[in-house]
Structure 1
Amino acid sequence: MPDLDELDLRILDLVQDDADQSSEAMAGAVGLSASAVQRRLARLKRDGIIERVVALAEPRSVGHTVTVLVEVEIDNERRSALEGFQRWVLDAPEVQSCWYVTGDADYALLVCTRDLDAYNAFIERLMTEQPVVRKYKSLIALKTIKRGLKVPVRCSDPGTGA
């Protein structure tokens, strides 16, 4: 665990909420100068704590109306099979996230497509190009309740909120 002080955690929390806010705004919120906030942000990036800064596009605004959680079972869990599948996933633009998981499935994918026809085309490509896939299970999202990437920076007691 990197050595982060309370100010680092507060800055990290702020930048995860809105990376577009000015260093002056963050400085006012944490009680530092803007240049001190900029130095801390640069260190957080350099140390890999801030992996990258991205913009979250609203999928429907660009015509992507279907979000699917896909559980994938691999037929053969040899390292080469897993690595080949992972390379394929990295190149698939429909896949927003991929996790190697425990349980009945080997992988969980978050897939975003324009419509069900595009999702079916994705699945056809998956099954054709990845013969190591034994089976898959689709969980189609009917409504998005929460979407984000924010990592909680403080451990809290769920009972107290502190």
Structure 2
Amino acid sequence: MAQNNLPKGRPLDELDVQILQLLQRNARLTNREIALQLGLSVTPTYERIRRLERLGYIQGYVALLDPRRIGQALTVMATIRLKEHSREYLEQFVEQVQKLPEVMECYYVAGDFDYILKVAVSDMDAYQQFLVKKLAGLENIGQVQSHFIMMDIKKSTAYPLDALL
């Protein structure tokens, strides 16, 4: 097995990785369906899945929604540069941005910007309102650049797991 940062205890084996791959593709698979695909019985499959959850490999299960169907057709990647970088200001920004429902994801990054936000809104007017009334109102915002997603070329939630084998 390749060197990686696995938790202490029995490392993942090929069956564990196959379970993770199956659940990444379709989290609605039942234990029985997974067991059939792996050639196992249901109980050991169930126990493996619970172990993967306990160890933190599986953090949760979600339904992926079509943003257009729920009125969130515009996705914006906003790059943020803060004015100051003291611990207090960094923590304050994180606390404030977590309260904004339009922000789907927030990344603290190295490089020209401090943060990248993935923002979902209905349209350009809604983004302008978000920018002016919410984001620009946060203390310590120095610069915001907005990048509008024109088309999804590749969009995946599944991680490659080959390195675990």
Q: TM-score, normalised by structure 1?
A: 0.91
Work out which structure has the larger RCO, using CA pairs closer than 8 Å and 6 or more positions apart in sequence.
2
1:147 aligns with 2:147: no
The corresponding residue for 2:18 is 10
Report the Cα offset of residue 155 of structure 1.
2.7
Contact 2:77 2:148 in 1 (8 A): yes
> Which whole-Å CA distance do the structure 2 matches of 1:91 and 1:131 have between them?
14
AA matched with 1:17:
R
The corresponding residue for 2:61 is 53
Report the Cα offset of residue 146 of structure 1.
2.3
The corresponding residue for 1:159 is none
Range moving further from structure 2, 106-115 or 32-41 = 32-41
Query: What 5-or-longer segments of structure 2 have no aligned partner?
Result: none
Report the Cα offset of residue 52 of structure 1.
1.1
Report the Cα offset of residue 34 of structure 1.
1.7
The corresponding residue for 1:82 is 90
Matches within 5 A, 1:98-109: 98-109=106-117
Contact 2:74 2:123 in 1 (8 A): yes
> Which whole-Å CA distance do the structure 2 matches of 1:138 and 1:31 have between them?
49
1:127 to 120, 131, 136: 136
Task: Specify the SS of the correspondent of 1:91.
Answer: coil
Task: Specify the SS of the correspondent of 2:47.
Answer: helix
Q: What RMSD over aligned residues (CA atoms) do the two structures have, in Å?
A: 1.6
**CA deviation string 1:101-132 (max 9, x = no partner):** 0110000111110111111111111111x121
> Which whole-Å CA distance do the structure 2 matches of 1:113 and 1:78 have between them?
31
Kindly tell me the number of residue pairs found equivalent between the two proteins: 156
Query: What 5-or-longer segments of structure 1 have no aligned partner?
Result: 157-162
Q: TM-score, normalised by structure 2?
A: 0.89
Report the Cα offset of residue 50 of structure 1.
0.6
> Which whole-Å CA distance do the structure 1 matches of 2:151 and 2:44 have between them?
41
Task: State percent identity of aligned pairs.
Answer: 35
